[in-house]
Chain A
């Protein structure tokens, strides 16, 4: 290993209501592959975004190549030699490989783009990396793995000294992964520092030299990869003090009937052969890493995304759900993880947002029975302690937690028997969080059944009666709450291939 190329010290970054980075330190040597690990929301991506100028840090210093730097935008970082290879590739499918690599800085011949020279230069780059790609090939004809290699070639062409890989293997096949690792080893020899964000434990030993772990926006520690075990890393990742008392045993009666049964559900790339059952009065936790296919499973069940195959039974009867309209008719309500995009009607008021899923119930002919609507809404505003000046307040003026309660109200007004809560407490304050937990417990006591998708392990362990863990679109395991632990869940969630 060479000299230090990058030191980040005492980095702080806050977003409204969230401390995303709390005094984080990070260090990278030349020619080192340094893994950055942590749960979803631990702050890995935020840290890298601060490094590359996408976010502005609140405080702390970044020393790069011996100088204190602060990049105003990704372009400046790129020019200085720090490049990110994003998980989602930013390639233009209709252009050729060479055109993509040199986009924005094309070689010119007068006013004409010099495609020949770009092809030659691209070929040189590929040679340096021992990659076999034709520069004149159309980008859309390449596999995801090859496209990623083009992205790497593009990074190299910027004379990168640091390359950040954000979960590079998430979309690759096994042989492509091996090819990628070859390239990374090659980059190491060229003294390039590599930050490697990943969720896959098995890759740590294979490719990385050191691993740094983050948790809840804070730096936990750094281990030498070859001397550490998977268990060391997992316990660093999840080893927070758990304030919430985890559930110790299921509260569901042994003879509870199955209200929802999903069999061999397949939908797109991210839901493969998922089967499970949901019992009456149960909170079924869905755990897994980002992109494990949990939200996609929910969306396929409610008919928001098309499904290729699979059967859904409600109370033992097979049902056809082709759209959310059908799902709601069958008594399934879905609370989205993305409140703003899929939940709120920002320009409309609290009452309108509360009754939209069950408007038919508040009608007098075609006229809306405002009195009935207001009465019902006020009932929930009171019982859920929704903080609003009035039910005719526009929902955009409410805080995140109260907005979330209003969307919950929507499904309570509809009186759904099966509720799918996707990250129900994301981005809301502690008080509202515990209100929502309380509400969920009351709902199951009243005989409703809840599927709770959550990326927060303590939340899963605190609320669930049973836990399903997903990994890469498949159900990788099922745990009773009595046997579940953070470590077990993480093992199942990172099974990888």
Chain B
């Protein structure tokens, strides 16, 4: 399955990395199971997954961008902007819920398109464009709501059914609908990345854009597409964020950029482009989510989670750098 025999380097880079990551995830869960009170429970897990869903969509999206050798620092605030604007349309303008959900996805896609256009067609570094769009999306959300926070309806309220997207009670059991959706989207992403021309071109241009361009490929089109996918998934992430937490405040969202990128990089996607792993990103997101739940359960504040995430990212990137050095 990991093609270790034919392909030692790939196996080392992605397969090995993912196995280690899975072990880290299990070890971390065991650690919290021992040291945190009442950690081993279905409800705890569901609560941890609240965090994993929106972060998962962000992280899957940014995997496509990083695969092309770019970066997107706008996804967190764009997610917030989408959640705030569509929520405002729902609560103040009384748009139908289904339309608001679609609007949220479209807002994400729009920012992704703008970002991708500037990067691919205008050759502005993605670092800069995404920073600019990060600021812009924060500002737009604030202006739109006059700097007020927006609360989406609760489950019992009118229009509250969207919260079932995270978990739905059937009889006495909660079905983790969010996990099902996330896994399905992750599988679709994996298929796109590994089995279709989209993924082939994205990884190819991440590996050597000039070479792909000289091969007669319209690299601009494909590069822009990566950002559109990323933005769209940020729009979807917005829905899962409000389904989990209902309230969103304008002007925030930055920290989720870093966690989404961290999940992606941990999973073995190379910051230099050309190598990406959806399953790696998935495991990376699970690690961050379990970590954040565990840190709270153990009685420490969120800051400890940031420290540990930082350390994991440094180690993961360091492994990435070392393995690349060996190659050239």
Residues of B contacting A390 in the complex (Cβ-Cβ under 8 angstroms): 6-7
**A356-B217 in contact (CB<8A):** yes
Q: Are B197 and A366 interface neighbours, CB within 8 A?
A: yes
Residue of B nearest to A370 (CB): B195
Q: Which of B9, B200, B270, B275 has the most CB of A within 10 A?
A: B200
Does A318 have its Cβ within 8 Å of any Cβ on chain B? no
Please, which residues of chain A bring their CB within 8 A of the CB of B7? 349, 390, 392-394
CB pair A343–B211 under 8 Å, yes or no, is yes
Contact B196 A366 (CB under 8 A): yes
Q: Hey, which chain B residues are within 8 Å of A344, CB to CB?
A: 208, 211
CB A103 to nearest CB in B, in angstroms, measures: 28
**Residues of A contacting B224 in the complex (Cβ-Cβ under 8 angstroms):** none
Also in contact, A324 and B197, with CB within 8 A (given A345-B207, A345-B274): no
**Which residues does chain A contribute within 8 Å of B210, judged by CB atoms?**
341-342
Interface residues of B in 171-226 (CB under 8 A from A): 195-198, 200-201, 203-204, 207-208, 210-218
CB distance from A105 to the nearest CB of B (A): 34
With CB as the reference atom, state the residue of chain A lying closest to B212.
A356
SS class of chain B's interface: helix, strand, loop or mixed? helix
Check B211 against A352 for contact (C-beta < 8 Å). Answer: no
Query: Contact at A357–B207, with CB atoms within 8 Å?
Result: no
B147 CB-CB contact with A under 8 Å: no
A345 to B212, CA, bound (A): 8
Q: Determine how close the nearest CB of chain B comes to the CB of A353; give it in whole angstroms.
A: 9
User: Across the interface, do A345 and B211 meet the contact criterion of CB distance under 8 Å?
Assistant: yes
Q: Does B300 contact A (CB under 8 A)?
A: no
Answer whether residue A368 sits at the interface, using C-beta atoms and an 8 A cutoff: yes
Compute how far the CA of A302 lies from the CA of B215 in the bound complex, rounded to whole angstroms: 11
The one of A328, A334, A348, A393 in contact with B203, judged by C-beta atoms closer than 8 angstroms, is A348
Q: Knowing A336-B214, A342-B211 touch, does A393 contact B6 (C-beta < 8 A)?
A: yes
The reply on A229 being an interface residue by CB < 8 A is: no
Q: Given A347-B274, A348-B204, A390-B6, decide whether A324 and B195 contact each other with a Cβ distance below 8 A.
A: no
Specify which chain A residues have a CB less than 8 angstroms from the CB of B208 in the assembled complex: 341-346
B212 and A359 form a contact (CB under 8 A): no
Q: Which residues of B contact A329 (CB under 8 A)?
A: 216
Q: Given B6, B201, B203, B275, which contacts A389 in the complex, CB threshold below 8 Å?
A: B6
B218 and chain A: residue at smallest CB distance: A325
- Quick one: which of B198, B201, B216, B274 has the most chain A CB within 10 A? B216
Q: How far is the CA of A352 from the CA of B3 in the complex (A)?
A: 17
B327 close to A (CB within 8 Å): yes
Q: How far is the CB of A396 from chain B (nearest CB, A)?
A: 5
Interface size on B, residues (CB 8 A): 29
A396 contact set on B, CB distance < 8 A? 9, 327-328
- Of B3, B197, B198, B204, which contacts A345 at CB under 8 A? B204
Of the candidates A325, A367, A393, the one having the most CB atoms from chain B within 10 angstroms of its own CB is: A325
Q: Tell me which residues across on chain A come within 8 A of B9, comparing CB atoms.
A: 394, 396-397
**CB atoms of B200 and A325 under 8 A apart:** no
B6 CB contact (under 8 Å) in A341, A342, A392, A410: A392
A interface, size bucket: 35 or more
Bound complex: CA A279 to CA B63 (Å):
48
Q: Is there a chain B Cβ closer than 8 Å to A327's Cβ?
A: yes
Task: Specify which of B6, B195, B204, B274 is in contact with A356 (CB 8 Å cutoff).
Answer: B204
* B6 and A324 contact, CB distance less than 8 A: no
Rounded to whole angstroms, the CA-CA distance of A348 and B14 in the bound complex is: 13
Residues of A within 8 A of B218 (CB): 325
B191, closest chain A residue (CB): A367
Bound-complex Cα distance A347 to B324 (A):
10
Known A347-B207, A397-B9; judge A357-B216 contact (CB<8 A): yes
Contact with B along A363-401 (1 / 0, CB 8 A): 100111010000000000000000001101110110000
CB-contact partner of B196 in A323, A348, A368, under 8 A: A368
- For the residues of A in contact with B, the DSSP-based class is mixed
For A299, the closest partner residue in chain B by CB is B214
A347 touches B214 (CB 8 A): no
With beta carbons under 8 angstroms apart, the residue of B195, B214, B215, B328 that contacts A367 is B195
A201, CB-defined interface residue at 8 Å: no
Are A324 and B216 in contact, CB atoms less than 8 angstroms apart? yes
Distance of A366 Cα from B201 Cα, bound (Å): 12
B10 within 8 A of A: yes
Q: CA A343 – CA B210 in complex, angstroms?
A: 8
A356 to B207, CA, bound (A): 12
A366 to B91, CA, bound (A): 40
Asked if A436 lies at the interface with its beta carbon under 8 angstroms from chain B, I say no
Within 8 A of A (CB), among B1-39: 3, 6-7, 9-10
Contact pick for B197, options A327, A334, A368, A393, CB 8 Å: A368
Closest Cβ–Cβ distance, residue B208 to chain A (whole Å): 5
| Residues 120 to 170 of chain B near chain A (Cβ within 8 Å) | none
A177 to B196, CA, bound (A): 58
Interface hub of B9, B208, B214 (most chain A Cβ within 10 A): B214
Do A324 and B10 touch (CB < 8 A)? no
Cβ of A142 under 8 Å from chain B? no
| A453: min CB distance to chain B, Å | 15
Contacts of B3 in A (CB 8 A): 392
Interchain CB contact under 8 A, A324 and B211: no
In contact, A359 and B200 (Cβ under 8 angstroms): yes
CB neighbours of A363 from chain B (8 A): 197
Tell me the bound Cα distance from A477 to B50 in angstroms: 73
Contacts of A367 on B, CB cut-off 8 Å?
A: 195-197
Instruction: Answer yes or no: A443 CB below 8 A from chain B CBs.
Output: no
Contact flag A346-B215 (CB < 8 Å), given A393-B7, A394-B9: no
Distance in angstroms between the alpha carbons of A356 and B328 in the assembled complex? 22
Which of chain A's residues have a CB closer than 8 A to the CB of B198? 366
Q: How far is the CB of B223 from chain A (nearest CB, A)?
A: 14
> Which residues of B sit under 8 angstroms from A341, Cβ to Cβ?
208, 210-211
Q: Which residues of B contact A325 (CB under 8 A)?
A: 216-218
CB of A359 within 8 A of CB of B327, answer no
- B10 CB, nearest partner CB in chain A, Å: 6
User: What is the CB-to-nearest-CB distance from B280 to chain A, in angstroms, rounded to a whole number?
Assistant: 15
Measured CA separation A220–B203 after assembly (Å): 49
B201, B207, B216, B217: the one within 8 Å of A346 (CB): B207
Q: Cα distance A323–B216 when bound, in Å?
A: 8
A349 to chain B, nearest CB (A): 8
Bitwise, B263-275 to A at CB < 8 A (1) or not (0) is: 0000000100011
Q: Which residue of A lies closest to B207 (CB)?
A: A345
Give the CA-CA distance A23 to B309 in the complex, in Å: 56
* Given contact pairs A342-B211, A348-B203, A357-B217, a sample of 19 additional A-B residue pairs in the complex whose CB atoms are under 8 Å apart: A304-B213, A324-B215, A325-B216, A336-B214, A341-B208, A345-B212, A346-B207, A356-B211, A356-B217, A357-B215, A359-B217, A363-B197, A367-B197, A392-B7, A393-B7, A396-B9, A396-B327, A396-B328, A414-B216
- 27 A-B residue pairs with CB within 8 Å: A304-B213, A324-B213, A324-B215, A334-B214, A336-B214, A341-B211, A342-B214, A343-B214, A345-B207, A345-B211, A346-B274, A347-B203, A348-B204, A348-B207, A356-B204, A356-B215, A366-B196, A366-B197, A367-B197, A368-B196, A368-B200, A390-B7, A392-B6, A394-B10, A396-B327, A396-B328, A414-B216
Closest 7 CB pairs of A and B: A328-B216, A345-B207, A347-B274, A357-B215, A366-B196, A345-B208, A347-B207
